[in-house]
């Protein structure tokens, strides 16, 4: 058995969970936040048989799309005298980070 931790963007979570459930996979949802952009993420926990791992990864790839977004950063220009000026920066958000672990024992109660 495998335990997959999939960290996905909040915007991708509803579609991804619906598709995983539709395909017969049970999912546990944990709210989390990213360290870099402090944006809303969701961590999904999915336990599957070894033979099902690739199917889950394919669904995650299909429903967790990376995209560009503009965020404002606070930059202190030296010639403005230390005041903060919002400066838009384009970053990539979305996509998924997946960890796959071996499960020695699993019991559903």
Would you say the C-alpha torsion 85, 88, 94, 98 has a positive or negative sign?
negative
pLDDT digits (tens, 9 = 90+) for 26-64: 999 998 776 555 567 899 999 999 999 999 999 999 998
Q: Round to whole Å and give the CA distance between 72 and 90.
A: 9
Q: Round to whole Å and give the CA distance between 81 and 84.
A: 9
Listed in sequence order, the residues at least 6 apart from 39 whose beta carbon sits closer than 8 Å to its beta carbon are 9, 10, 33, 93
pLDDT digits (tens, 9 = 90+) for 65-90: 776 766 666 555 555 555 556 667 66
Report, at the CATH architecture level, how domain 2-102 is classified.
2-Layer Sandwich (3.30)
Whole-model pTM?
Answer: 0.73
Q: Where are the domains of the chain?
A: 2-102
Task: With beta carbons less than 8 A apart as the criterion, state whether 85 and 78 touch.
Answer: no
């Amino acid at each position: 058995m495998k335990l997959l931790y999939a960290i996905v963007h909040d915007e991708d979570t509803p579609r991804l969970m619906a598709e995983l459930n539709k395909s017969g996979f049970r999912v546990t949802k944990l709210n989390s936040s990213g360290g870099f952009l402090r944006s809303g993420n969701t961590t999904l926990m999915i336990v599957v048989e070894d033979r099902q791992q690739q199917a889950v990864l394919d669904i995650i790839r299909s429903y967790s799309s990376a995209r560009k977004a503009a965020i404002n950063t606070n930059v202190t220009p030296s010639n403005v005298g230390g005041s903060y000026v919002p400066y838009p920066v384009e970053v990539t958000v979305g996509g998924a980070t997946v960890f796959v672990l071996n499960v020695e024992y699993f019991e559903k109660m």
